[in-house]
Structure 1
Amino acid sequence: IANIFVPLIPALIGCGIIAGLNGLLVNLGWLPAVTPALAAMASGFMALIAVFVGYNTAKEFGGTPILGGAVAAIIVFPGVANIDAFGQTLSPGQGGVLGALGAAVLAVYVEKWCRRWVPEALDVLVTPTLTVLISGLVTIFGLMYVAGEVSSAIGTFADWLLANGGAGAGFVLGGLFLPLVMLGLHQALIPIHTTLIEQQGYTVLLPILAMAGAGQVGAAMAVYFRLPRNESIRRTIRSALPAGLL
């Protein structure tokens, strides 16, 4: 998993810093002509992160990276909104990174099976076609729905925790938030934010989740001062702290 997501970190850091800067400018009302461009820069990568995850997943599992990216791209393709699966209309991005991960792994296994059985003379044409076709159909009519249900279940569980869990709910949500962000499943919490804002005028969930990042920054600072002779770790922390603070 680390080899799939670690290569994405530079883009996440760069886009995250731009997003933080853009949010600051929007809140202050400065440079209104520039903020839409900054928003596009910050959001472009996140809109297509499933493709990059699929690419890296296929590469890590020994498949052709571009085929993994091609299958994962189905998840974010706007045209999936015209497809019904299990009696429900799909939505672009449904399943998030988790769906892209599963789709790319499936593509690798299909590709390896094709390489084993397809004659070499036809391999260059048949293998990519069957890989995208079979994996794509399973993704559209299976993985997207299942991964989407997982995302919804996580959101429902978080809602229940807020209503019944008290301080313990804050501990659980804060602890789980960063792994959810890594998998792209944090999008399932957006309807909860919206509901709270509509009902109360504010969302108590966002500050709770923000504590996850604050705790990570605090832990990094503690490690920084605890290991004065480990220059490698200290250099990494110095590079990461600005993004964490934003």
Structure 2
Amino acid sequence: MRRVAPVLALLLLCGLSACTSEAEPEEGASTTLTVLLDPDVTTAQKTAVEQRLRAMPSVADVVLKTRDQAYERIREDSPDLLADVKPEHLPESFSATVTDASVAEAVNLVMGTVAGVEWVGLTMAEADPLPTRIGAIVRLEPTVTGEQRAAVEEAVRALPHAESVEFEDRDAAYARLREQCQGKGDLAAQLDSRMTRPSLRVTLGMKGRGETDLPGIGRLDGVEGLHLVPVAML
């Protein structure tokens, strides 16, 4: 994964990591899917990515975001992340809403294998106010060592608002996702066991807890990705 993907991933996380809310939990809230394209993506690949995304079950509001739009968002929200990054260094991307939490993770994994895609992320769809509880999926690398996993789990459990932390191995993840995708078009058939990863699945109680170092968790050795999602996805 090139430099720009982690930059944008951190941007997606930073917006939620400092938020609190007085609302009741919206465990079934929609999820935003962000699909970053390879910098050298071809026109044909971009078209194929969009068509594949629009064909996914429960996916709506597919929008192409340009490099300039990505740059402006970073400049406005987190200018310190820009450093030497220029608009031409940033990838184009598609954003979409996944309205069914039960298929969002499978859509994320399948879209990550499409030619021309660099990275796919999940975040809570924007809501005002945010729910008092959200989920975090800390996806581990397939080659994560026992020592690395233990260090990541220790860091996650040390978060002041971590209410529960559960480990799921990749075989269990594959079985769960296959079951959840039954009756959702051909999504189950598109899944492959090689797509899944071991993960820590965390419930975060955000009400009145203030800031937390969620982006820091994403930078730990052995972590492949970090996604903030509705609790229903856990």
Normalised to the residue count of structure 2, the TM-score between the two structures is 0.30
Q: Which has the higher strand share?
A: 2
Normalised to the residue count of structure 1, the TM-score between the two structures is 0.29
Higher relative CO (CA 8 A, sep ≥ 6), structure 1 or 2? 2
Q: Which has the higher helix share?
A: 1
